Amino acid sequence: MSISKKRKNKTMPNKINRILEIPQEVSSNIPKVTVIGFEKMLIENYKAILEYQDFYIRLSTNIGILNINGFELNLEEMTTDDLLVTGKIDSIDFESIEDNH
């Protein structure tokens, strides 16, 4: 397969997504984090729960690790793609995966 054909195949879905105005997090595995006040947080496109305690939650995503710190943290609703965290959220930090290529 030629290089130009490979590029065309990669860019075609991106053009269609732009035309249809499909958000990037829907068409890819990039996580989307929505914080509602200090007591709710919705994480879409997470991969796995690495650690869970009532004061600390650590999640794996396709682009890094998401750390949630707080008090009385609960995993309220879980699906294979989405997770709702409730409790008193104190801080959120993200450890990105570094690509050495």
pLDDT for 42? 96
| Token output for 7 | 């590029």
| Token output for 2 | 């030629």
Q: Strand, helix or coil at 13? A: helix
pLDDT for 10? 46
pLDDT for 22? 60
Fold of 31-101: Immunoglobulin-like (2.60.40)
- Domain map (residue ranges) of the chain: 1-28, 31-101
CB 45 within 8 A of CB 30: yes
Q: pLDDT (tens digit, 0 to 9) for every residue of the chain, 101 residues total? A: 444 444 444 445 567 666 766 655 555 678 899 999 999 999 999 999 999 999 999 999 989 999 999 999 999 999 988 999 999 999 999 998 876 55
